Chain A
Amino acid sequence: MLPQMGAAAESLSKASSLVMRIGTDAHLYDDPDDVSIKPLLESRYDSEKVDALKRLLALIAQGADVSHFFPQVVKNVASHSLEVKKLVYLYLLHYAEKRQNEALLSINCFQKDLSDTNPLVRAWALRAMTGIRLHVVSPLILAAITKCARDPSPYVRKCAAYALPKLYNLHQEETSSLEQLVDVLLRDNSPAVVGSASVAFNAICPNNYPLISKHFRRLCEALPDVEEWSQIILIEILLRYTVARHGLVRESVLFADITRDSTFSSVMRRCYVEGHELWSGDGRGFEEVEMGTCKNEDVDLLLKCTAPLLWSQNSAVVLAAAGVHWIVGPAEEVKKIVKPILFLLRSSSAVKYVVLCNILAFAKAAPLLFDSFYEDFFISSSDSYQIKTIKLEILSTIATKSSVPFIFEEFQDYIRDPDRRFVADTVAVIGFIAKRLAVLAGTCLEGLLKLVLSEPLVSGSYQVEEEDGVLVQAIISIKSILKQDPSSHEKVIVRLVRNLDRIKNSASRALIIWIFGEYSSIGDVIPKIAPTVLKYLAWSFHSDEVEAKLQILNTCAKVTAKTKGNNKDSTLFKKILNYILQLATFDQNYDVRDRARFIRNLMGNETKNNLDIYRDLAESMFCTKPASSPYPSANIRVYLPGSLSQVVLHAAPGYTPLPKPGSAVIENPAGLDNSSDVDESEGSSPQYSTEDNRLGYDTGTEEMSENGEYEETPLVNISEANVDQGQTSQNDMSNFVSTDLSEMMSRSALESWLDETPCFSDGSFGQSRSQNVSTSNARVSFNDRNFKLKPRKSHALLEPANSDGLRISYSFSTEVSSVSPLLVCVDLLFENFAKETLRNINIRFEEASGSSISGPMDPVLEDSASMVSPDKIPTLLPMEEIPLLSPNETVKRILQLRFQHHLLPLKLHVLCNGKMYLGKLWPDIAYFLRPLSLDMNSFVEKEKQLPGMFECSRRCTFSDHLQELEQNEKISVNADKSLVVAHCFAVKILSSSNFYLVSMDMPVSLKPDDMSGLCLRFAGEVVNSSKPCLITVIAHGNLTEPLDVTVKLNSEDTVFGLNLLNRLLAIVQ
């Protein structure tokens, strides 16, 4: 090429690289801070903001700390430009944790964006909001996720699922609401969302098997459509569930006979299930724990649905699917995985290495699976050293008599590889194979000997460390083969010894000298050459290195000790030994001198009387062989297939072995999750219905009748909406609306009831009625409290499976404690499912010391004490012990507790038969209230005092009434529909919370089905702070459809209020 052309080409390439840079952000990366960034951030133009943000990003990329721009950046979160938003989010996520206070400023914008019409904006807002990890706003985040989990866009729902683990990290304690959301998302129609939900499941509640049990079939069927990354996680979840539920499969490889080494597979089985730390050391009866089951439907389904994933383009999915087949698949199915995982070897070298690590573990347990595929483990010159060695190890494991000739032929080439480390490894593997397949020992020894004696290895002129490595390894291999059957390989020893003079490397010499000493009395030839060899050793002693010198000393001692009797040889040996000892005594190295002194004392002294003892000692020292074990089982490290731990060969943090087989007992496979409040499972606990069907306001009504002032309170109020409610008509109405609610129900619809004009003697009402008709916004309110409340939901404190048959379920009670107003009453129901009588049942708080209140206390004192210094320990009033509980008997107790936290569970110790079980009592915030009896006026007044920041409201839908209406349709045609709806509403809230129903306003409208304006008011007093808490529920929409409901809450205790609002929403929905 001409020089000028070369120059032209060069400038051309320069020009083209310049063209490449045009229009990129190159200058921003090169000089991010060549302008002042702050004014740009405050600019009015989006383009300048973008420029500034890009500069900040460049600085982050280069590792500079630009967190001091946080206040300026966070302002831009409100920008409408998507690009600005994205860049701001990138910045925020990087620094939010450092600048928590400023990051709070962005929350409002996120919340606004969450209602944007563009799903991408909603998704980004949610991701950023959850990504900034602010502990203080976790209730808001939970609300945001809850909202997004029901978003119409699957992408947003997917992001909601991804957000759950982030919230969980902030707030590890409170999982029940997160688990509910996982449940909701697992039900999703879109496979992408289901996949992300499984990722969340794995992070939040990986052991919640009942939840998987509910969805198992659907999840299996969705598996092929789920995104590849989620597939990896979902496969693992399903595998763990299957093992926990059904145990290991007896037909699987882990039990089967195709394993050559049954100890290995049983060790593997243990490792999978228990992990290393637990079992190593004591070999306790593991076999009893595990439950092998025959294959069943679930296992079959799982295998069927994971089988096609062996064709996935994602190697992680293939390996995960292979892992499932390996662990729960019957042995004949496992063959399926072999080809797909071998095909993975034709991927990048990183993938190759990981897959090989797993194959090695598989091959050790079931070498027969792989033995015909030995060619796939042949080395290619592009393999890295790591990969080469692991391939060799696999080859040594799977080699059989029929494949060994081919493998050895291949090894012939490896021996000549320029990488001598690899050659040494190959030589070692030859030794392993020969040890395992004794038939081959002769051939192997021949080959190795040839290698040892080949010219470049032994020639002293060319000495490289790596070369020595090969030589030493070859001799070690020979040594290990000889050990199996020394007598039949006598000639090999002789040949080695005869070549001793040619071998210069001291480690190799030491090894050969050891071999000679060890087998000096074997066969016919060796004893004959022994004198000559010893003479040679004595001659070469001074020129040898330390390693070899020590071995010469040992060997001489050994040979001498082994020669019995007083023949010619024996005296010769003694002479030589003495000579060598003498040389050694004056050696420069003190190890050699020490060894010589030791041997001299042991053997050199013939004058001593107790000669025999020394001789025996020497003999036992030199001539007995320690028993060797092929697999010291504690050294086998096996982890679950596909795990990081299997690659790095130690349990990585976060590694969990499989659950205990059969540990998950799911009583109702159709799946009702006890802790899930969304489920309408009231009907499933009929045993409570009789006791719980009492009126909701025992205490409340009692108080009122004592006060006496409520006796005249009418059951129905009719008032005008636009005048201040409750102020006007209460007294006027009282005359004519003293009817009982049930009586009213028997009448016709509300309108017809209103039309009975003769009742309306009062003129003012007539006026208001005419207004009603024209504006249709007047209301009718009820103050009736005779609702048939639904049985309260009960939760399990203790399951019979965990506690020898004792089942304790709890439900929150509306009763007010007689001891202190701070205590919440919980009804406990003890049931004995066991066949024997249970004794001495009692409940204690986990921290036994000084936590329970010793006796009744002055409530006022207690109250004030808690105001001053709130004692953070939840307290528990001692329960009356249940001395005896015979089988199938049930006993009820009331437990009085004081909760300090609204969300954290209370850990309780249940004592029974002298044993102690741990139970968790989940607080229900809706019962941390006392009913507060207010009339309409004082309610409105109180509400006015709690505006702004004390007020929060949220929306949801209510559809329970639809069912109710359907039922009522059949019973009576006359029943007023809107009344039913209102009734339904009140029952819903009152049966799962402890409120006082202040008023129930009915819409009065021309359209019979329009429910807009239905308004219920509830009041309560927070147990801990005695602050009032007011709830207003307003409904909109048509009664034949789900109603749109706004729940408003006014309370001074805002944190409590937020949590309570969430709970109420869950109740309503």
Chain B
Amino acid sequence: MQQLQCIFLLSESSGEVMLEKQTTGHHVDRSICAWFWHQYHHHHNNDQMSVVTSPTHYLFPLIRHGIVFLACTQLELPPLLPIEFLSRFADILSDYLCAGAGVTLNEDIVKDNFVIVYEVLDEMMDNGFPLTTEPNLLKDIVLPPNLVTKVLHAVTGNSSPSVGPTLPHAAASTVPWRSTHPKTITNEIYVNLVEQLDASVNRDGNLRRCQVYGEIQVNSSLPGFPDLTLSFTNPLLLNDVRFHPCVRFRPWESSQVLSFVPPDGHFKLMTYRVKELKKIPIYVKPQLTSDSGNCRIYALVGVRNDPGKTIDSIIVEFQLPPCITSADLTSNHGTVDILADKTCRWSIGQIPKDKLPSLSGNLVLEPGLDRLHVAPTFQVRFKIMGIAMSGLQIDKLDVKNMPANPYKGFRAQTQAGDYEFRS
């Protein structure tokens, strides 16, 4: 039987067990959490273990938002199942507890809403196997907390029921992702291309690898049972694709169009990859020279192939090698911080028109070391609104089965993914 025996929620910082949910008759003792905690902290901290073999159980940890989601099993099961499930669970919790609140999930929020966490988890998993994981459906069964009920609760002292009155019809329909009675209909649909640019430049300044990983995020608020068709002007660009379950396979196979009945609210329609791009929008030129126990560092940041839109929130980061005892860094633009874990963060923001931002400084090596023999990698983060660097373009979005023509919005943005320069 493929099943998870238990799910624990731990605090990443203290190791405190916040919640336990046993899903089968074989209870897992919570001492396993202490064991895991010890392993996690005493082995290399930066190595995220995906499958941990403990003396009694196989553990699948997922660490997100300072919370360790720990699934335990004793029997063979496809390891990606618990991994995917936990990440889905974390997503759904964030959506339940933090949507619109402007904060990210953290351990306090989980503790404050432990009843909802239990109820959601119980609906998501039965006998250790995923039961209902469709967010729209879950929200009909376990109502997410909203401001009105919270205030009511605070004022009257009576908590409003967190459990839905009846089973949503969607649970029975062939399109389980779509609830049949969407709450508020604004008759709008927004399609957002969000791309991450991965690039890697070697120490000679040659572009070794450049690709885009993109997502099509849709926010739909349409009445009834809309049938949508999204087509691209240049679908052949797409190297790899993965789809939301609502996308029909046939139309894509035959003519590369996305035909689907959308769920309500936010969802990820498709993820894709465009490989072998040739142009990167921004470059870093690091130079390190070292002799007699000192290392001089000089790094220059500039725009290479102007994308035509402003490049925003540029941050350059690199890890100081362990053999460096002290560093003195200055820049002509932006601020430089050295964090506790020896990460050096240079926040640039936007590149000014009149000068190229540069970073310079001196690193002092450990005594006894004459020259620096290792080279840090410079990672760059940025954001460009209004452009998809892959060049993917949406041709049109046809809407069928609708009484009135909805408002359609399209947006695009690119941000840095694994964007790195080796020195």
Which A residues have a C-beta under 8 Å from some C-beta of B? 16-17, 20-26, 28-30, 47, 50-51, 54, 57-58, 60-63, 81-83, 86-87, 89-90, 93-94, 97, 118-120, 123, 127, 131, 133, 153-155, 158-159, 162-163, 165-166, 169, 190-192, 199, 202-203, 224-225, 227-229, 232-233, 236, 308, 311-316, 318-320, 339-340, 342-343, 346, 348-355, 375, 378, 380-382, 384-386, 409-410, 412-413, 416-418, 420, 454-457, 459, 461-462, 464, 642-645, 647-648, 651-656
Contact = CB atoms under 8 A, between A and B. Distances in A.
A557 to B, nearest CB: 38
B352 interface: no
B271 A313 contact: yes
Contact of B371 (A62, A412, A455): A455
B164 A23 contact: no
B47 A654 contact: no
Contacts of A651: 76
A643 B76 contact: yes
B129 A199 contact: yes
A25 B202 contact: no
A352 B79 CA distance: 11
A351 B83 contact: yes
Interface stretch (B168-176, B186-194, B224-232): B168-176
Contact of A418 (B113, B126, B322): B322
Count chain B CB atoms within 10 A of each CB in A82, A153, A229, A375 and give the residue with the most: A229
Contact of B115 (A57, A94, A133, A353): A57
A287 to B, nearest CB: 27
Given A378-B208, A381-B418, A652-B76, 10 more contacts: A20-B101, A81-B161, A93-B22, A162-B126, A314-B80, A343-B273, A382-B418, A418-B321, A418-B322, A647-B51
Count chain A CB atoms within 10 A of each CB in B17, B44, B159, B203 and give the residue with the most: B159
Given A169-B25, A350-B83, A131 B127 contact: yes
Contacts of B118: 57, 61, 90
A121 B273 CA distance: 44
B361 interface: no
A232 B161 contact: no
B375 interface: yes
A338 B273 CA distance: 14
A967 to B, nearest CB: 38
5 contacts: A350-B51, A378-B208, A410-B202, A456-B369, A651-B76
Contacts of B149: 23
B32 interface: no
Contacts of A120: 141, 164, 166-167
A57 B61 CA distance: 23
Contacts of A654: 1, 74-77
B112 A21 contact: yes
B88 to A, nearest CB: 9
Interface of B: 1-3, 17-20, 22, 25, 27, 30, 44, 46-51, 53, 58, 60-62, 74-81, 83-85, 87, 101, 103, 108-109, 111-115, 118-119, 122, 126-127, 129-131, 133, 141, 145, 147, 149-154, 157-159, 161-167, 171-172, 174, 176, 198, 200, 202-203, 208-209, 213, 239-245, 249, 252-253, 268, 271, 273, 319, 321-323, 366, 368-371, 373-377, 379, 418, 420, 422
B416 to A, nearest CB: 12
Nearest to B319: A418
B76 A381 contact: no
A163 B126 CA distance: 9
B114 A58 contact: yes
Nearest to B151: A23
Given A350-B62, A462-B368, A63 B2 contact: no
Going nearest first, the 4 A-B pairs with the smallest beta carbon separation are A23-B150, A350-B50, A316-B80, A654-B75
Given A133-B25, A225-B174, A378-B209, A313 B242 contact: yes
Contacts of B213: 346
A348 B77 CA distance: 19
Contacts of B159: 23, 25, 47, 50-51
Given A351-B80, A652-B76, A653-B76, A308 B53 contact: no
A651 B75 CA distance: 10
Contacts of B61: 350
Contacts of A90: 118-119, 122
Contact of B244 (A190, A313, A456): A313
A50 B416 CA distance: 48
Count chain B CB atoms within 10 A of each CB in A28, A94, A378, A418 and give the residue with the most: A418
B127 A413 contact: no
Contacts of B371: 455-456
B158 A47 contact: yes
Contact of B422 (A123, A166, A413): A413
Contacts of A316: 78, 80-81, 83-84
B270 to A, nearest CB: 8
Nearest to B244: A313
B234 to A, nearest CB: 18
Nearest to A154: B172
A227 B177 CA distance: 10
Given A312-B242, A644-B78, A386 B420 contact: no
A515 to B, nearest CB: 25
Contact of A648 (B18, B58, B163): B58
B249 A308 contact: yes
A848 B208 CA distance: 74
A25 B112 contact: yes
Count chain A CB atoms within 10 A of each CB in B80, B151, B174, B368 and give the residue with the most: B80
Contacts of A154: 171-172
A576 to B, nearest CB: 35
Nearest to B203: A413
A653 B51 contact: no
A227 B209 CA distance: 36
